[in-house]
Structure 1
Amino acid sequence: MDNKSNNDSDIINKRVVLLIVTLASFLTPFMSSSMNIALPSIGKEFSMNVVLLNWVATSYLLAAAIFLVPFGKIADIKGRKKVFSYGILIYALSSFLCAISTSSVMLISFRILQGIGSAMIFGTAVAILTSVFPPRERGKVLGINAAAVYLGLSLGPFLGGSLTQYLGWRSIFIANAVLGLITIILVLWKLKGDWAEAKGEKFDFIGSIVYSLSLAAIMYGFSLIPAMSGLWLVLVGVFMFLLFVRWEMKTKNPILDINLFRNNITFTFSNIAALINYSATFAVAFLLSLYLQYIKGFSPQNAGSILVAQPVVMAIFSPLAGRLSDRVEPGIIASAGMALTTVSLSLFTFLSEKTSLEVIVASLILLGFGLALFSSPNTNAIMSSVERRFYGVASATLATMRLTGQTLSMGIVMLIFAIYMGNVQITPQYYPIFLTSMKTVFIIFALLCFGGIFASLARGKVQ
């Protein structure tokens, strides 16, 4: 009887953990996709130029990417529940502060704080799930977690658009603050355990600072390209990153164990595949949003309704792909997903003024299915390839690959648009050049993804 009650308690605790982590994983993508709809309203209220407006989105992304790996390591040492809880608290507080901002500088500053909170959530969420669920159930729960991310991306444009239209852009931040508050109450009330497999290890402050500065220089520099200052910043960032790698190989308790990459082919190539996948796909929604509104003449609401096809398919099939990766080699499923993604990106290179809506939606559905097959099996491969004490670092490394890939994706778009179009508004006279620019970006994305198939296959067997 005691064994049965212990098992029941264990099952309930696992379900509570899954609920809390899933809710937290929904928050940040919901925020990001909502913000894209709200940016014009924010720009109008604060009279922001296009550079400042870009920083409202980029500051959050940059802060999250910089702090992910350090917080992943801190979580392994101090306890994942602790870092996860503080992360949600900071996220909820910063969301409220964003809502009451009275200037663009205030808003961007609080977006940076929101990015730090997001790093603490994403640097620990997958690690907590991997700690609580045994290997045979891991793919299934990682699939559910991925579905929550895609659900956030799907609902963002709809709910964010409605909130902005009827209650103003500040209501998006209020909604996030309320959801964050509900999550933190659940954490303090129901979440048991603290999972600190690297307890007692020292934190590598020098490595953390060099890593953060190198990533900041690379990502900020990339946003300035093709200007020479951007190229110099990227070179400085790369040099500092090489210094960071050298330091991590020498120090006793590194924030990022380089041996994870040197001695673990599965971990290395799974992360490279993730970086390539996000670099090749993140800007697709941005490009198609412009194409549907400018070239096809759809309203923002209708454009959003068309674009939702991709994340909905991802949300439906991610749990199934995750469950399948518990039974079949994850690398095979992820590679098949990368191949389908390549095909869908190739189809987008043929877009023109006359492309039918059916072709666009079919291509989006194929892209969503490819990404669903890739995402959770790839995550399963990464988390199954490391020891328990590295779960936090592995989770944070994957999340860093995602954020860095997203930034590179937008960087490629900015670079191609700057070369083809220069600093102009998209007016009817520039539509042909816009279409040429967009097709060029899709060709680059398809080639990137094609290379990603080989990176995915090179990981070897996980199971």
Structure 2
Amino acid sequence: MNKWSVLSVALLNGFIVPFMAAAINIATPALSIHLNMNAIELNWVTTIFLLSSAISLIPLGRLADIYGRKKFLLIGNMLLLLSSIMATFASSSVIFLIIRCIQGISGSFIYGTSMALLAGAFSLDHRGKVFGIQVASVYVGLSSGPILGGILVEYWGWESIFFIPIILSTVSILLITFKIKKESAQSFGERFDWKGSIFYGLILTGLTYGFSILPSFWGYGLILFGIVGLAPFIFYQKKCSSPLINISLFYNNTVFVFSNLAALIHYCATAGVGFLLSLYLQYLKHLSPKEAGMVLMVQPVIMAIFSPIMGNLSDKIEPYLVASSGMLMTFWGLIILSFVSSTTSLSVIYIALILMGMGFALFSSPNTNAAISSISRKDYAMASSMLGTMRIGGQIFSMMIVMGLFSLLIGKAKIMPENYSNFLVGAKYAFGIFAFLCLVGTYASMKRGNLRGA
């Protein structure tokens, strides 16, 4: 397999989905107007993408291990291309949310397979550096998303943010088809656990949708179903001959266990920040989409610059030391944001975003390096998908925290000048909760111990 072709595709794929996510955040006020969305529906634009990704990521990673990763990576890019074209023609909030659901599934095809192909193409002593480069492409997508998205929305409307994914996914399809050789499936011949996949999807759906409709009776009931369902699901996976999730990966492997837990907590503490700041900057600071995008791009630019350096550093010293220091730096950025007001200077926002950018760079690629390097080659796609599920699960819970606060303080009303004060209270509460989670995550990150002694 041509490892440089694999890296090129991984970089392209690493850019596309984060770019789209960041651009969508900037487009939320425009979506509210043109598709008549209220505050809760705007939250679902991100949440339904994350939910469909979380439900499908591990099953698709497992299928990729059985039937071939190149094939699934190609399908994911084709699905992303088609859904992006469809999005430009969306005429209602319902249609747009359905398309976002499809895009979430396409992202699952892409994430688990591209990272697994990358892990298989490069040796252990170069993996941290390569993961750092790939993570940098993710952050380039995140950094360019706000500014390019802001320009596109301001001059050509919200539909135009899908033009870039259409172009890049087409290039990716051509590269995968003609430059990446078909690889042997690492788990060929093994059965796929359809029952476990359905059970897993029901649990995640119950938890996510339950949080979104709190404090209703059905909300509490669905959350209870999701929590109670975890025990029989784990028991079934332990007894299954070809399980969806290889539970044995968690036995006596503290590096893998706590790397996944740290990822879950870190993304839970950070994913809602961009959404909240986009609304804060445009509603309370009266910035245009382009101006708000220029402010928000500071964090991912820092992440893109330093991620390869930190990934390379994790090849030389223990990843948990690098990742844990990153979690603490993110904590201080969130503490600053928890004190914002309508009169807060933009320089304070910049400082917080720089701290969070450095924190992310220190955490992300070393954490990925630790998790994937602690397991065997045949489980790369499933393990990569597990790590991706922790990332997406964290993002979902982060948005659920925001959605819960919005439900309590704003309800189903649109965000208007008369409820700006309630929005600000909710945002500050969210930042405070996120900061506390970072402290918990730092403990989990430290607890994993040494990779090279694992």
Stretch deviating more after TM superposition (414-423 or 154-163): 414-423
Secondary structure, aligned partner of 2:98: helix
- Give 1:169's match in structure 2, choosing from 158, 169, 172: 158
Query: What one-letter code is carried by the residue in structure 2 that aligns with 1:332?
Result: L
Q: Residue 318 in 1 paired to residue 301 in 2?
A: no
Query: What one-letter code is carried by the residue in structure 2 that aligns with 1:71?
Result: L
CA, structure 1 residues 171+207, in 2 after alignment: closer, same or farther (shift >3 Å)? same
Distance in 2 (alpha carbons) for counterparts of 1:106 and 1:432: 32
- Give 1:97's match in structure 2, choosing from 86, 95, 99: 86
Provide, for residues 273-312 of structure 1, a one-character-per-residue CA deviation record: whole Å limited to 9, x for no partner: 0000001111112222233334333333222211211111
- Give 1:381's match in structure 2, choosing from 367, 370, 384: 370
User: Under a length normalisation based on structure 1, what TM-score does the superposition of the two structures give?
Assistant: 0.92
Query: What one-letter code is carried by the residue in structure 2 that aligns with 1:139?
Result: G
Distance in 1 (alpha carbons) for counterparts of 2:421 and 2:99: 39
Shift of 1:197: 1.4
**Structure 1 unaligned runs (5+)?**
1-9
- Give 1:130's match in structure 2, choosing from 119, 138, 142: 119
CA, structure 1 residues 51+335, in 2 after alignment: closer, same or farther (shift >3 Å)? closer
Secondary structure, aligned partner of 2:315: helix
2:187 aligns to what?
A: 198
Shift of 1:338: 0.7
Q: Residue 234 in 1 paired to residue 220 in 2?
A: no
Provide, for residues 203-240 of structure 1, a one-character-per-residue CA deviation record: whole Å limited to 9, x for no partner: 11111111111111111111212222211111112223
1:131, 1:195 within 8 Å by CA — same for their partners in 2?
no
Stretch deviating more after TM superposition (425-434 or 222-231): 425-434
Shift of 1:48: 4.1
2:8 aligns to what?
A: 19
CA, structure 1 residues 170+435, in 2 after alignment: closer, same or farther (shift >3 Å)? closer
Provide, for residues 227-272 of structure 1, a one-character-per-residue CA deviation record: whole Å limited to 9, x for no partner: 2221111111222332221110110111101111233111111100
2:341 aligns to what?
A: 352
CA, structure 1 residues 37+458, in 2 after alignment: closer, same or farther (shift >3 Å)? same
Provide, for residues 413-434 of structure 1, a one-character-per-residue CA deviation record: whole Å limited to 9, x for no partner: 2223333454555555545544
**Structure 2 unaligned runs (5+)?**
none
Distance in 2 (alpha carbons) for counterparts of 1:239 and 1:110: 31
Aligned sequence identity (%): 47
Distance in 1 (alpha carbons) for counterparts of 2:21 and 2:338: 26
Query: What one-letter code is carried by the residue in structure 1 that aligns with 2:172?
Result: T
Q: Residue 247 in 1 paired to residue 247 in 2?
A: no
2:316 aligns to what?
A: 327
Q: Residue 395 in 1 paired to residue 395 in 2?
A: no
Distance in 2 (alpha carbons) for counterparts of 1:232 and 1:118: 30
Secondary structure, aligned partner of 1:64: helix
CA, structure 1 residues 434+103, in 2 after alignment: closer, same or farther (shift >3 Å)? closer
Shift of 1:117: 1.2
Shift of 1:316: 0.5
Shift of 1:145: 0.8
Query: What one-letter code is carried by the residue in structure 2 that aligns with 1:254?
Result: P
Distance in 1 (alpha carbons) for counterparts of 2:441 and 2:320: 12
Q: Residue 448 in 1 paired to residue 437 in 2?
A: yes
Distance in 2 (alpha carbons) for counterparts of 1:68 and 1:281: 20
Where does 1:35-434 land on structure 2 (aligned, <5 Å)?
35-427=24-416, 430-434=419-423
CA, structure 1 residues 284+20, in 2 after alignment: closer, same or farther (shift >3 Å)? same
CA, structure 1 residues 183+281, in 2 after alignment: closer, same or farther (shift >3 Å)? same
1:215, 1:241 within 8 Å by CA — same for their partners in 2?
no
Larger RCO (alpha carbons 8 Å, 6+ apart): 2
Query: What one-letter code is carried by the residue in structure 2 that aligns with 1:181?
Result: T
Stretch deviating more after TM superposition (316-325 or 433-442): 433-442
Distance in 2 (alpha carbons) for counterparts of 1:54 and 1:355: 25
Query: What one-letter code is carried by the residue in structure 1 that aligns with 2:115?
Result: V
Cα root mean square deviation, aligned: 1.9
Q: Residue 32 in 1 paired to residue 21 in 2?
A: yes
Query: What one-letter code is carried by the residue in structure 1 that aligns with 2:223?
Result: V
Distance in 2 (alpha carbons) for counterparts of 1:433 and 1:42: 21
2:449 aligns to what?
A: 460
User: What is the aligned residue count?
Assistant: 452
CA, structure 1 residues 265+195, in 2 after alignment: closer, same or farther (shift >3 Å)? farther
1:76, 1:195 within 8 Å by CA — same for their partners in 2?
no
Query: What one-letter code is carried by the residue in structure 1 that aligns with 2:166?
Result: A
